[in-house]
Amino acid sequence: MKVELVTNVLDANTAIAEQNRQFFAAKGVFVLNLMSAPGAGKTTILEKTIEALKDQIRIGVIEGDICTTRDAERIAALGIPAVQINTDGACHLDANMILRSLQNLSLEDLDLLVIENVGNLVCPAEFDLGEHYKAMVISVTEGNDKPTKYPLMFKESQAILVNKLDLLPYTDFSLEVLKQDLETLNPQAQVFPISARTGEGVVAWSQWLVELASSIKSK
């Protein structure tokens, strides 16, 4: 009997991710993998996005954290289906965790599924979950050196949200410098300056999501 050797853990992950992607396509759900360093504002951005889009599209959220159900509780409080995955120490989500969590979500009832990954600027970008697009958040308090020091997530993301714009005057962060770095790392990325605190920029970002969710329906 022929034995298939899976050469590494990433190969195994990619195979499950591909299954997830086919499943999402069959259900007509657009899936976004949202990543960032801890505390950049992923959940707060999601809260604002849900407020903006709740009456336009049907959103569901998978929350990934090392421990606690805090983020899923924040999302569920807005009346949105939310599933919490606890990774028990792992610094990223993987495709198998997503596959198992789908038992607790009714994909038929969703247009957009956002997966909030574990707060970490490195590992989550290495693992395909079966999403259609990746997006990441960098907050202005993190410094302009992050794209060049931690390039993978910036390279892999179709959208880059620059959050905490309300704090810009108190930092030395420059949007221009970020855009210059992205010209080398990822010139195709959509950049959305945003403040989840004040709501600035939420409309443009939300509209982008609506267009993606409707594009998958029309396929």
Using CB under 5 A as the binding rule, the residues of this chain from 58 to 87 that contact Mg ion are 71
The Cα 36–Cα 136 span in angstroms is 5
Binding segment for ligand GTP (CB under 6 A), chosen from 34-42, 49-57, 106-114, 143-151, is 34-42
Q: Which does 39 bind (CB under 5 to 8 A by kind): ligand GTP, Mg ion, none?
A: ligand GTP
Residue 101 contacts ligand GTP per CB under 6 A? no
Binding mask 63-82 for ligand GTP (x = CB under 6 A): --------x-----------
Q: Contact letters (x/-) for ligand GTP, 147-186, by CB under 6 A?
A: ----------------xx-xx-------------------
Looking at 20, 33, 35, 41, which residue binds ligand GTP (CB under 6 A)? 41
If binding is defined by CB under 6 A, does position 44 make contact with ligand GTP?
yes
- Of 13, 20, 33, 43, the one binding Mg ion by CB under 5 A: 43
The footprint of Mg ion on this chain (CB under 5 A) covers a number of residues equal to 3
42 makes contact with Mg ion (CB under 5 A): yes
3-state secondary structure the chain: CCCCCCCCHHHHHHHHHHHHHHHHHHHCCEEEEEEECCCCCHHHHHHHHHHHHCCCCCEEEEEEECCCCHHHHHHHCCCCCEEEEECCCCCCCCHHHHHHHHHHCCHHHCCEEEEECCCCCCHHHHCCCCCCEEEEEEEHHHCCCHHHHCHHHHHHCCEEEEECHHHHHHCCCCHHHHHHHHHHHCCCCEEEECCCCCCCCHHHHHHHHHHHHHHHHCC
Closer residue to Mg ion, CB minimum distance, 59 or 185: 59
Give the interface with ligand GTP as residue ranges (CB under 6 A): 36, 38-44, 71, 119, 163-164, 166-167, 195-197
